[in-house]
Structure 1
């Protein structure tokens, strides 16, 4: 699955759509990267776009209410989609059809079905759509992966995640705030550490009596992964005291030893495992941006390409279904139901044709070398 590259000279010219907190974070990250240039801010509310543009300190930064119109007007090369999850699908669809590659905030879309539509649209248009799963970009996470590689077969990846943020706003009212808004980070990191996709999950959600969230803010999940390993997630968003990092606290158990990582500092291995230093992946969204630029400039396959990233959202949907239904849920059942929903709702004939050409969803989402 190749995608079109951009051969223009100079920094990659980017428009950010979505002028909220993440949009502003992206704007400042782009401004700080010498290989990128922020050329516009878009938002449905032009006043929000104007405020975010002023916040960048870039004189005369262009603004607009429509990302595609703005990108065309200023001669942008690509679009960064930092809108709310419900807007990820329509905004990215419009950009891809207009000929712009897209770097989008997680999750890929509000539902797996919408994610499948986006993957098919990216194939049809030949444009790159990369999802910024930002917590993959941490040097210590990559170091932990290198260290465990010398310990034989991995059997267990376990993470504890305990924080007590008081966000206010929509998260306090969500039905499943932890699973829907945060757990995808750790789910995705587990896929990265194991180089494996999920097979099934058993999950329970609950809410401690002191919780300030209306919905369940704590969860335990056990995922069976390809190759036989288990990934266990134990998390809470209402646990003050001795809090973990935002990345969580990890234990990776293999046949000849284990790796511990506190989510911030260098991991430790027992027995001690000497590893060669690897390339610096960058930190969080700055790392995502750097990889996106390398992808569209040189055709390098990025970690967060839409096809690969959909599996992380599928883990979230499967976990919430398991918790609500009180039973183990197979990931392929989630994928198959989502595929049927995507077929039923897709209105673009070419994209529908791509969806219908897929032999199975799992095969369509697998890396190219596994599809031939």
Structure 2
């Protein structure tokens, strides 16, 4: 691939989210769809038609289709339970991968994939699409100008009636939605979480089986607090899907309603931080970032080592809600690492996992990820 040639990709998964990705791929001149993989061949063919490429190969077997098409990268838009196997197959085929969030179904599987990226020398980027929002970027600029941040708060209140699997999930809010806010908090604070105390519950009128409400207090590095207050059964005065945000610092505060430009008050006057470059919009922005990273070798925001901690925040919050106790993030990481070592079947990946020191340090340095 040259800087001017479209990146040839095979997409795995042609369901509801897969169709959104296929339309995004079709609209990006820097990407060429050369194959679609899905267990449902009719869905794969429909997806190829949607992408304006009805004659491209489709199939159920990723490895076979990669060999047939000469693809240069893989888009993994499958359900979370399939992420580990699909991504592992693509990495071992010598191809970079852009996958839908979460990185994997469990933290242990995500650590396995981080180690596999190191072993294969291939990029695995997770599309945490809410980061691709120029208003969020601007909000971070406002927060940076507060002279040191002490606390960050997110209020999330929506009342969607999805039907289907979400309404039957355990911990539905924390598992399926809160990761967006948690990942954005890491981005805005430019720090990593240390511990969390969380409570979750289901109000009497909830149409969800699992807990649709949660309140969590995270301690981040430098003793910064992040407070998340969320509900998926909150009819009435609903927030943006991005939530409603407020940060407090040494010289003032910054606010973002999730849908409009953020603002701040610094030393009693309107804040005017330095502007930042745009990052694109949601999955289109994530796709463009992935293509740039493949071409340049630069590590993007969603590179797996940098993304794992967002999934860890979810697991730690759920563990705290179930135990009623404060949970230390490093304990969640180390337990997941032990599980990954115990269950890993690939010898080279297991050896790489075993060679890691403290997991937090391995994720922060990720020196072998794009070797």
Question: How does the TM-score come out when normalised to structure 2?
Answer: 0.96
1:40, distance to aligned residue in structure 2 (A): 1.6
Question: Whole-Å Cα distance in 1 between the matches of residues 334 and 188 of structure 2?
Answer: 26
Match of 2:102 in 1: 107
**Contact 1:308/1:367 (<8 A) preserved:** no
Q: Does 1:311 align with 2:306?
A: no
Q: Which residue of 2 aligns with 1:326?
A: 324
C-alpha contact (below 8 Å) 1:43/1:64 kept by paired residues:
yes
Unaligned 5+ residue runs, structure 1?
1-5
Kindly state the Cα deviation for residue 148 of structure 1 after the two structures are TM-superposed: 1.6
Equivalences, count: 365
Q: 2:92 aligns with which of 91, 97, 101?
A: 97
Query: In structure 2, how many angstroms separate the alpha carbons of the residues matched to 1:270 and 1:257?
Result: 5
- Counterpart of 2:359 in structure 1 is 361
Question: Are 2:254 and 1:256 aligned?
Answer: no
Comparing 67-76 and 240-249, the one that deviates more = 67-76
Q: Matches of 2:22 and 2:215 in 1, distance apart?
A: 36
Q: Classify the secondary structure of the residue corresponding to 2:218.
A: strand
Call closer, same or farther: CA 1:254–1:367 in 2, change over 3 Å: farther
Q: Which runs of structure 2 are paired with 1:336-347 in the superposition (5 Å)?
A: 336-347=334-345
How far off its partner does 1:368 sit? 5.0
1:280 paired residue number:
278
Give the aligned partner of residue 212 of structure 2.
Answer: 217
User: For residues 122 and 30 of structure 2, what CA distance do their matches in structure 1 show?
Assistant: 20
Q: Give the unaligned 5+ runs of structure 2.
A: none
> Could you tell me how far apart the structure 2 residues matched to 1:162 and 1:69 are?
45
Cα contact 2:305–2:366 (8 A) shared by 1: no
Which residue of structure 1 aligns with residue 44 of structure 2? 49
Q: Give how far 1:34 is off.
A: 1.3
**What does residue 3 of structure 1 align with?**
none
Distance in 2 of aligned mates of 1:258 and 1:309: 27
- 1: CA distance, partners of 2:2 / 2:84: 27
- Equivalent residue for 2:199, pick from 195, 204, 208: 204
CA distance in 1, matches of 2:360, 2:161: 38
For residue 151 of structure 1, give the secondary structure of its aligned residue in structure 2: coil
Counterpart-to-counterpart distance in 1, 2:95 and 2:333: 27
- Asked whether the equivalents of residues 67 and 79 of structure 1 are also in contact (C-alpha less than 8 Å), the reply is no
Matched, 1:189 2:184: yes
SS at match of 1:366: helix
How far the C-alpha of 1:343 sits from its partner, in A, is 0.5
Q: CA deviation at 1:121?
A: 0.3
| Counterpart pick for 1:67 among 42, 57, 62 | 62
Q: Secondary structure at the match of 2:279?
A: coil
The equivalent position to 2:227 in structure 1, one of 228, 232, 245, is 232
Aligned residues of 1:218 and 1:236 also touching (Cα < 8 A): yes
Aligned 8 A contact 1:42 1:49 in 2: yes
* In 2: Cα distance, 1:246 partner to 1:42 partner: 31
Displacement of 1:277: 2.2
How far does the alpha carbon of each residue in 1:315-364 deviate from its partner, in whole angstroms, 9 at most, with x for none? 00000000001110000110011010000011111111110111110000
CA offsets per residue over residues 69-126 of structure 1, 9 Å max, x none?
2122112110000000000001100110011100000000000000000000000000
Distance in 2 between residues matched to 1:75 and 1:316, nearest whole Å: 37
Which of 332, 335, 340 aligns to 2:333? It is 335
C-alpha contact (below 8 Å) 2:25/2:51 kept by paired residues: no
User: Could you tell me which residue of structure 1 aligns to residue 298 of structure 2?
Assistant: 300
Q: After TM superposition, what 4+ stretches of structure 1 lie above 4 angstroms from structure 2?
A: 6-9
Kept in 1: contact 2:252–2:265 (CA 8 A):
yes
**Structure 2 contact 26–52 (Cα < 8 Å) conserved:** no
Please tell me whether the aligned partners of residues 22 and 50 of structure 2 are also in contact (alpha carbons under 8 angstroms). Answer: no
Please, which of 348, 351, 354 is the counterpart of residue 350 of structure 1?
348
1:83 aligns with 2:85: no
How far, CA to CA, are the matches of 1:115 and 1:73 in structure 2? 28
